[in-house]
Every structure is written in C-alpha cells, then in structure tokens.
Amino acid sequence: MIKIKRALLSVHEKEGIVRLARVLEKHSIEILSSGGTAKLLRDNKVKVQEISDYTQSPEMMHGRVKTLHPRIFGGILARRDADKGEMKKNGILPIDLVVVNLYPFEQVSVNDKVTLQEAVDNIDIGGPSLIRAAAKNHEFVAVVVAPSDYEMLEKELDENKGSVGKELSRNLAVRAFSLTAHYDALINEFFSQKFGIEGHPEILNLTYSKMFDLRYGENPHQTGAVYRELKKRESSVCFSKQLHGKQLSFNNILDVNEALELVKEFEEPAVAVIKHTNPSGVASSSSIKEAFERAYGADSLSAFGGIIALNRPCTMELAEPISRIFVEVVIAPKFNNDALKLLMEKKNIRLLESGDMSKSDEGIDVRTVSGGLLVQSRNCPKISPKDLKVVTRRKPSKEEIADMLFSWKVNRHVKSNAIVLAKGNATVGIGAGQMSRVDAVKIAREKSKGKCNGSVMCSDAFFPFRDGIDEAALGGVTAIIQPGGSIKDEEVIKAADEHNMAMVFTGIRLFKH
C-alpha cells in the first residue's frame, strides 16, 4: 500500500477537484497546488499550500514555469528507500499523489480556425512532466489524470484509510502513460500538417479515441472494439448518430463504411446496397426513390439482410418499401420524422444519421498485417469524358459514356478482381473478389439474369486475355471501360472490335483488396 501524506493538485479541468480535495483533507493529506486550482480550493475553504511558497521560487513567464523545480520532481521521483538521504539533504518532502489534467490541446487543435500561436499556448509542458514522473515512480506514487477517476480514488482512500493499493497505482500509471503518448501524438500530427511535411513519416504516430467495446469481433470467438479519429474530416460511420436499434457489430461497421463511402461518390441522388463489404446493387437517378428501387432490384436475393446507404434524406416514400424487407442497417443524411417513426417499429433494424454527405480524399488508409501496418493515401483521380481514350473502331455513345463513368465510380468500391455491369446509371451485375478476371465477368453476367443486354462493363484492372471480352459479348455488353496496359491489349481490342463493342482506356487501376 502507498500511504498518501502529500498530494499535488494541478488541473485545467476543474470538475470534481473540490470534492476530491475535501476527501484528501478528511484523511489529513497535505495539498500542494498552484494558479487557478489553488485559488478554487481556497475559495471553497480547502487548506492548500502554493507550490511557489513550497519551492521558494515564483511562477515565471506568465505561468509557463511553475512546477518545474527539483523540490517538486525530487518529491515525486524519489525512491522512498534508496533516495532517503538525498531527500533529507536537499530538503525534499515526498509527494505521494499527483492529480493532473492537461491544457486542452486536443480540443483546440481540432478547430479549423485555430492559429499557430493558440495551439502553441495550449501545449502543456509541466503537466505531462509531472504525470510521467509520477507514473515512472508508481511503486511509491499514485497518479490520476482524469476527473472520471476521482470517484475510484476517493473510494480507495476511504476503504484503506488514506492509502492506495499497488494494483490500482499500476493501473493508474498505465492510464497516465497512455494519456501522455496520446497528447504527444496529437501535437506531432498538428505540427506535421501545419508545417506541410509531405510523404509518409519515418515514425507513424496514430491516436484514436475508443467509442465502445463490441459484443465480439468479426466472429464470436474474437473480441472487438471501435475507435475513431479525434477530428471529423467528413461524414463517416464513426461520426454518425445512431437513432435506433441495437449496437452495431464489427461486421455492420465495415459494411456501413463501404456503403456510405460508395454513395458519397455521387452528387445526384444515389443508393447503395452492401452485403459483406461488396455492393449487391447501386443506382443513381434524379429521384432517390427510383435510385432505391433500382439498387435494391439489381440483386434483391443478395440484398437480403444487407446494408442500405442513401445520400439523400430518408422520406416516407422510402421508409415504406424498406420497412417491408429485411435490412440490417439504413444510413442516411437525415430521417424525416414520419419515416423514422415507421422504421423504428422494426425492432432489429439499426438507423444511422450521417449528417451532410461530405467527402474528403485527405488522410491515410491504414491496414494491418502481422507485425506491421500498410499505409497509403486515400486520393483517387477523378475522370470525365475527356479523360477516356477510345481504342476501338466504334466510339461509345453518350449514354454508354454516362454508364461507363457511373460503373467506374462503383468499381472503386468492389473487391478485386472486380467487374461491374451497368445500364441506365444502375448496376445490373457485379462480379467481386474473384481469382481470375474472366470468372468475375461470368459471375457478373450470371447475376444479371439477362439484364446485362445493352449494358457497359467496367473492369478494375486490365484484361490479361480476350476471354473476358468474349464472355461479356455473350451477355450483350456493348461497351467496356478499363485501365488498359496489358501486353495483350492489342488482342483485347481486336476482340472488342469483332463484337462491335466500344472500348475506352482510363489509365487508372482500381484494385481494392
């Protein structure tokens, strides 16, 4: 047990500190403090000694230097046995409890309008130093870094007559080091962005806050939790508001992310139906209702138990057909009141409100591999009709070009090898995640159930042989959009010409693994 005789209290967030100080007083624990914390305690009739009086050194530089003193850090870092002589020689008294929270750099830095000076002024120096010192010496010192832990500390002190157990002290030290690592990572990220450091850093510091534990991970035998970025860059599943239904699962979150990212590709009304991270159907139209009908109808069998994303508010005319089918999650910018009321009659459906459908190519995409991480940029070039290189004798029609650009947007979100068949700004067949490209074409054609006649085909990478073109022709595909770049391009173009197809190259591969 650590007997607490002297405590240092220095907090920016004052919530709960007076109550904690009174508990310390009850156990005859001396209190050292400074600045606003000391004033608050005195105003509430709590006996406190100013740190500057204790150190015989005044606060300097408008408070930038106040706790950085040997009598403070010696009292925290001293081993109560090995350093006893030096403590006595230098007039250092032991400090057994450190209660500190930090300047709000996190809250300040996420403000888009923050100036560099404001950010610098909110970088805490003394606080992290006190926390690290106390956590390092956790065998003799307890450290508390969050008001949410005060009640736990108060209970511990009451149950142990002013002492803290070693197990709690160790747990508090872990929390303390976690906080300082998080704090430094935030500062590192802010300055890297502010000063325009480009490329991928030599050391990658990532910091996310925990939203909640999941019931399990991808499978029931795995544990899981969900974390999110500290700053909202764009609409996302992690920053959406859940309006109804039980907690999202690990797999729900993956699927909702894919659905939302897909409909964010479109400025016009669009709907995506996702199953196991791949779209079963996608459509865009001048009407969100028509987009839903065509997206769901593209493959209603696969859509059973899927995820629906809308890039327009969910109205009653959408809620009514959705309420009649089995859907795991619906995410939309907003739900009209009558639509929400109807859908909430379904006990097991989850409803998420994303807010505005903002989209950003900033940030990084991070994936784990055993022993490491893969990191890449999120950006993807945009294409327009003028970017399409026609390589066949027949040029695509205006309608075919529109469907090509639509299918290209969808294909970005289909697992490789990926084939998307589309007609009239709606998918009619999708072949996803196949080991051979020709098999992806066959599956997309079969899934279309004949609807691919007169459609365009998008491939996420080049065709290595002409067989994919021949398979597409069997389904009545009239035009193809693909990156090009195969050593067999000439053979592939010849096949397209034989079938009177139009083919364009984009020069952009869309692999998604």
Q: What is the pLDDT of residues 332-383, one digit of tens each?
A: 999 999 999 999 999 999 999 999 988 887 778 899 999 999 999 888 889 9
In this predicted structure, what is the pLDDT of residue 378? 86
User: What percentage of the chain's residues is helix, strand, coil (to nearest 5)?
Assistant: 40, 20, 40
Q: Which pLDDT tens digit goes with each residue over 11-40?
A: 988 999 999 999 999 999 999 998 889 999
Q: How far apart are CA 166 and CA 178, in angstroms?
A: 19
E strands, 199-326, in order: 209-214, 224-228, 241-244, 270-275, 278-284, 306-310
Encoded tokens for 182:
């998080």
- Which range is most confident: 45-54, 80-89, 265-274? 265-274
pLDDT number for residue 24: 94
3-class SS at 381?
coil
Q: Which helix (H) or strand (E) holds 292?
A: helix 288-297
Q: Has residue 272 got a pLDDT over 90?
A: yes
At the second CATH level, the architecture of 385-505 is: 3-Layer(aba) Sandwich (3.40)
What pLDDT is stored for residue 495 in this prediction? 97
Question: By C-alpha distance, which of 336, 167, 365, 162 is closest to 258?
Answer: 365
Query: Which pairing describes strands 97-101 and 6-11: parallel, antiparallel, or unpaired?
Result: parallel
Residues 75 and 95: beta-carbon distance below 8 Å: yes
- Give the tokens for residue 115: 């100036």
pLDDT at 63: 65
pLDDT at residue 65 greater than cutoff 80: no
What does the block give as tokens for 327?
Answer: 């859907």
For 62-66, the CB contacts below 8 A with 24+ separation are 63/35, 64/125, 65/126, 66/34, 66/35, 66/126
- Model pLDDT, residue 70: 84
Check residue 144 and give its pLDDT.
95
Average pLDDT, the chain: 92
User: What's the CATH number of domain 238-353, 3.20.20.150, 3.30.360.10, 3.40.140.20, 3.30.420.10?
Assistant: 3.40.140.20
Write out the two tokens for 192: 């890297």
Single out the residue of 17, 4, 66 nearest to residue 46, CA to CA.
Answer: 17
Q: Dihedral sign, CA of 337, 341, 347, 348?
A: negative
Element (H or E) spanning 135, and its range?
Answer: helix 126-136
- Residue 66 pLDDT grade (very low, low, confident, very high; cuts 50, 70, 90): low
Active site residues per annotation: 136, 276
CATH 3.40.50.1380 domain extents, the chain: 2-194
CA angle 285–336–256, rounded 5-degree value: 65
Supply the DSSP string of 36-48, one letter for each residue.
HHHHHHHHTT---
Please state the separation of Cα 108 from the chain's center in Å: 19
Predicted confidence (pLDDT) per residue in 178-231, tens digit = 999 998 988 888 888 788 777 888 888 888 889 999 999 999 999 999 999 888
Q: Within the chain, which residue ranges are assigned CATH 3.40.140.20?
A: 238-353, 385-505
Percent above pLDDT 70 for the chain: 98
d(CA 215, CA 210): 14
Cis peptide bond upstream of 205, omega within 30: no
Residue 116, pLDDT score: 85
Q: Give mean pLDDT, residues 486-499.
A: 97
The rounded distance, in Å, linking the Cα atoms of 479 and 76 is 74
pLDDT of amino acid 91: 83
pLDDT at 57 over 80: no
Provide the sign of the torsion angle of the four alpha carbons 384, 388, 394, 400, taken in this order. negative
Taking the C-alpha atoms of residue 277 and residue 260, their distance in angstroms, rounded to an integer, is 11
Tokens, residue 397: 């029609």
Q: Give Cβ neighbours of residue 227 (< 8 Å, ≥ 6 apart).
A: 208, 209, 210, 211
Question: Cα–Cα distance between 477 and 419 in angstroms, integer?
Answer: 12
* Exposed e or buried b per residue across 134-172, where buried means at least 16 C-beta atoms within 10 angstroms of its C-beta: bbebbebbbbbbbbebbeebbebbeebebbbeeebbeeb
| Residue 484 confidence (pLDDT) | 97
Rounded to two decimals, the pTM is: 0.84
Q: Is the pLDDT of residue 276 over 70?
A: yes
Nearest alpha-carbon partner for 383 in 477, 509, 513: 509
Residue 60 has pLDDT above 70, yes or no: no
Task: Confirm or reject CATH 3.40.50.10610 for domain 2-194, answering yes or no.
Answer: no
Contact assessment for residue 239 and residue 269, using Cβ atoms and an 8 Å cutoff: no
Tens of pLDDT along 122-170? 888 888 999 999 999 999 999 999 999 999 999 999 999 999 999 999 9
**Residue 488 pLDDT exceeds 80:** yes
Summarize pLDDT for 379-433 with one digit per residue, the tens. Answer: 888 999 999 999 999 999 999 999 999 999 999 999 999 999 999 999 999 999 9
Q: How far apart are CA 412 and CA 122, in angstroms?
A: 41
